[in-house]
Amino acid sequence: MNNNALKMYHELMKKGWIDRDDNSLIWNCVEDTEARDELDQMGHELGFEIIQAQNRIYMVPTQENDLFLKNNVDYRSDIKAQSDVRTRDLYLLNYLAIFILYIFFKGEGNDAQVRNFITKEELIKVFTDHCQKVTKKGVDGEDKESDFSDNFYMLAEDWMSKKEGDPTSRKVEDRYGIVNKIMLKFRTDELFTEAEDGRIKPTKKTQDLMPYVLSKDRIQVINNWFLEDQHATD
């Protein structure tokens, strides 16, 4: 086996990416064509893809991967979940996570990122507006193009039933609590950061990988979930 391929695999297993500016020696391995080919072959066998974005390469698990993808137990650990966190709460957190990615990256091509930051207060307002539209329209509305599944309807209702809570809350009964828990998850996965002034911003990792996500046509799935942003009336 190519020694440079093993060095890259070892480094990627430690942190998920290799940065040319942080580790020029390992980056020399990245530029070794034979080593990269062998690493790609390892990915095919083990269930991951190597994605290059400017001065970084990333290891991204595929859906077939049974080693790197996280389950609900991992998820609960990432958000420091207590026994009061139900499976439905995890689904709501996933719903909110997808929504956050959508409002940041709902553009097209090189202009996929449409905003640089959002505050928790604004996020709660925007997501609440979205959930109001979902519950108002329901799943049997006349506008079938912007209809939602039963699952999204129930999750939106779940969000609407929560009180706002304190900005520092970690309770799943509070809207702020849900937002603070998803931020724990985002920080663990290094997808978003929260500045001292409360602004939530995507990391370089997220900005690098979203074009990969969009190139896989996953944006169409996200758009189908949130079509009311384009078709809802005042």
Domain boundaries, given as residue ranges, for the chain: 3-61, 72-231
- Rounded to the nearest 5 percent, the helix, strand and coil shares of the chain are 55, 10, 30
| Selection from 63, 28, 68, 22 nearest residue 5 by Cα | 28
Per-residue pLDDT, 198: 83
Q: Do 104 and 114 form a contact (C-beta atoms < 8 A)? A: yes
How would you label 11-31 residue by residue, b for 16+ Cβ within 10 Å and e otherwise?
Answer: bbeeebbbbeeeeeebbebbe
**Ranges 98-102, 114-118, 122-126: which has the least confidence:** 98-102
Residue 136 has pLDDT above 50, yes or no: yes
Per-residue pLDDT, 56: 93
pLDDT band at residue 219 under the 50/70/90 scheme = low
> Which pTM does this prediction carry?
0.75
Q: Which amino acid makes up residue 58?
A: Y
**Ranges 48-62, 63-77, 127-141: which has the least confidence:** 63-77
